[in-house]
Every structure is written in structure tokens, then in C-alpha cells.
Amino acid sequence: MTSKIDSIIEDFELLDNWDDRYRYLIELGRALPPFPEEQRSDQFKVQGCASQVWLVSEPAGGADDLRLAFHGDSDAHIVRGLVAILLAFYSDRTAREILAADPGAVFARIGLKDHLTPQRSNGLRSMVERIRADARAALEGAAA
């Protein structure tokens, strides 16, 4: 069975030019489920992004198998696509897997690392750090 992130990587590798890859990135963002309006608050807003980005984590399970599901949104089309890639990469992993995972390899493999503006790259790092912070907080909460 192919994971969501593996399917996304395969799709990116089929696209030869960056116009098509950006269109695909935008399509990924459009395919995200609707984001609840009440969650478009400062509590869920990612700091350090030029665009508005919201991420929500939902922990499930016990301390030994604590998994996190994420959902999110952005007001910018390309950034929303980046959110979709991060959600495919991180959702439904254990908190420990999230802390050990390196999305940089995925972004390098699909070429996004070299084709993002510095502003978007900074925002992407902020989103990753937020996801990792949520995983650390979930682990601390489960240990308490």
C-alpha cells in the first residue's frame, strides 16, 4: 500500500516542468478538507509565515502509541499546497516518529526545496517547527 506522501512524490516525479508542479501543488491545497472557521484563530495560527497558516493537531492513543492527526489551511494557494504535503507527511504518525522525521528529504526529492522563495521556505520551516512542537507537547501531556 502506498502512503499519501509516496503518492504525492510519485505524482511530482511525473511532472516535467515547474509550471505543472506548481499547478499540482495548488491542486493538493484545493483538495484539503474544509477548515472550520472557528479554528482560524491566533491559537492555531503559525507564527513566522508571511501568509496566514493555521494548523491543528489532534492526539489520539496512549503514551506508548500516541499518534497525531493534523489539519490545516492557508490563505495562499501555494502555501495551502505546502500544508497539504506536510499533512500527508506527518498525519497519523506517532509523536516520536514526528520528532524523528525529516521532511527536508521529501522536499529535496520533489524539487521544492530549490523552487521556493526564501519567504516560503521560512514559512515552511515555521510550519514544521509548529508540528514538532505539537508532538513534543502531546508527549509531555501523555507522560503527565
Active site residues: 49
Return the bridge partners of 57, or none: 70
Q: Distance between CA atoms of 65 and 96, rounded to whole angstroms? A: 9
Return the bridge partners of 72, or none: 55
CA 136, 142, 88, 31 torsion: positive or negative?
negative
Nearest alpha-carbon partner for 97 in 138, 46, 125, 52:
138
